[in-house]
Amino acid sequence: MSVHKKNRKVQGSNFVDYVKINCRSGKGGAGSAHLRKEKFVAKGGPDGGDGGRGGHIILRGNRQMWTLLHLKYRKHIIAGPGENGGKQTSTGKDGDDIILDVPLGTVARDADTGEIDFEITEDGEEVVLLAGGRGGLGNAHFKSATNQTPRFAQPGEPGDDKWKILELKILADVGLVGFPNAGKSTLLSVISAAKPEIANYAFTTLTPNLGMVYYRGDRSFVMADIPGIIEGAAEGKGLGLTFLRHIERNAALLFMVPCDADDVAEEYRILINELEKYNPELLDKNRILAITKADMLDDELKEELKAELPKEIKTVFISSVAQQGIQELKDELWKLIADNK
């Protein structure tokens, strides 16, 4: 594929996992300073109602969504203002909330500080991203023994205006971890119905590909092929932080190293090191190591290679092209997923 064709494909992708939006919550309505006007009563008492609160901006989890594409070009999100309070202690109507549906695994953070506000993980879960201003109290609240007819009320609080970042972490049962060209896309195309782009250059997988893997009857699990990691990913080199963000959401990790690597054990060590530098908790996940392109090896070479590999991780030799070891790999992955539940 030419560079031009590749770029067109990337630019036209429907997968968006990062957006920066300006959020403006609604201003609270003002309280009323109204005084009752009654026949034959010169000075009625206070009956001013409270102002309504300003509209919130709310994120809602939606299991049917898988991308933030719908927010990519919606840079300004503005909620409605609360109505002012009225007479007869009537409270003003609350401002209209803005509810943004987002995929599960969406993380909201403050654009200025980088601090995480919250993460959406459940279908139908609603969390206020930016609260509207409170409505002001009407003068009925301020009546006292010494002031029977207060002629003042509170103004409504102003709304908030902040830039927020929404990031999506892919939710999958198995995440594929490996250097570019480790054979992850090829495996996914063979083991599932997914059709990821496959070519012999680094970072072919520029956006995550998800595949449904069917397992022995009516069981299934989701596998995610995520942009290839490189040494230094934890410092942001290449697609590093983009890749690592998605890995956090996977239940189990499948490490993939080709058998013709210069040093298979060292390549696995580098992958582990990058994950640990980014987030040590990633190493608590169940994991398995697949040695790819194994159709190039005879039994003797496999045994020699196995002796060099770490003993604490289960190793499976596979060849996606030759369909070798695929069922064994599915069996081992299913054990990891079931153990995680």
Tens digit of pLDDT for each residue in 23-61? Answer: 999 999 999 999 887 765 556 789 999 999 999 999 999
- Tell me how long the chain is: 341
Evaluate whether 209 touches 224 at the Cβ level (below 8 Å): yes
The more confident residue out of 60 and 67 is 60
Evaluate whether 221 touches 173 at the Cβ level (below 8 Å): yes
Beta carbons within 10 angstroms of residue 114's beta carbon: 8
pLDDT of residue 307: 85
Integer Cα distance of 18 and 199 in angstroms: 25
Domains in the chain, start-ordered, CATH in brackets?
12-168 (2.70.210.12), 174-340 (3.40.50.300)
pLDDT, tens digit (0-9, with 9 covering 90-100), for 230-287:
444 444 444 444 555 556 667 788 999 998 888 888 989 988 887 777 677 777 888 8
pLDDT of residue 195: 52
Q: Which of 155, 203, 152 is nearest to 180 (CA)?
A: 203
Percent of the chain with pLDDT over 90: 35
**DSSP calls for 219-268:** EEEEEEE-----TTGGGT-TTHHHHHHHHTT-SEEEEEEETTSS-HHHHH
pLDDT band at 136 (very low <50, low <70, confident <90, very high): very high
User: How much is the average pLDDT of 288-295?
Assistant: 91
Q: Is the pLDDT of residue 13 over 80?
A: no
Tokens of 66: 């898988």
Evaluate whether 320 touches 292 at the Cβ level (below 8 Å): yes
User: How much is the average pLDDT of 311-334?
Assistant: 90
Q: Could you tell me whether strands 219-225 and 161-168 are parallel, antiparallel, or unpaired per DSSP bridges?
A: unpaired
Q: Is the pLDDT of residue 208 over 90?
A: no
The more confident residue out of 296 and 338 is 296
Q: Is the pLDDT of residue 21 over 70?
A: yes
Q: Is the pLDDT of residue 103 over 50?
A: yes
Identity of the highest mean pLDDT range in 26-35, 201-210, 216-225, 316-325: 26-35
CA distances from 339 to 94, 251, 284, 332 (A): 48, 10, 13, 11
Q: Which of 247, 200, 251 is nearest to 225 (CA)?
A: 247
pLDDT of residue 163: 96
User: How much is the average pLDDT of 141-154?
Assistant: 89
pLDDT of residue 226: 66
Integer Cα distance of 267 and 278 in angstroms: 17
Q: Is the pLDDT of residue 77 over 80?
A: yes
* Residues contacting residue 113 through CB under 8 Å, at least 6 positions apart: none
Percent of the chain with pLDDT over 70: 79
The more confident residue out of 331 and 240 is 331
pLDDT of residue 234: 40
The 3-state DSSP class for residue 299 equals helix
User: How much is the average pLDDT of 74-84?
Assistant: 95
pLDDT of residue 95: 97
The 3-state DSSP class for residue 140 equals helix
Evaluate whether 153 touches 138 at the Cβ level (below 8 Å): yes
Evaluate whether 23 touches 130 at the Cβ level (below 8 Å): yes
User: How much is the average pLDDT of 9-35?
Assistant: 80
The more confident residue out of 147 and 202 is 147
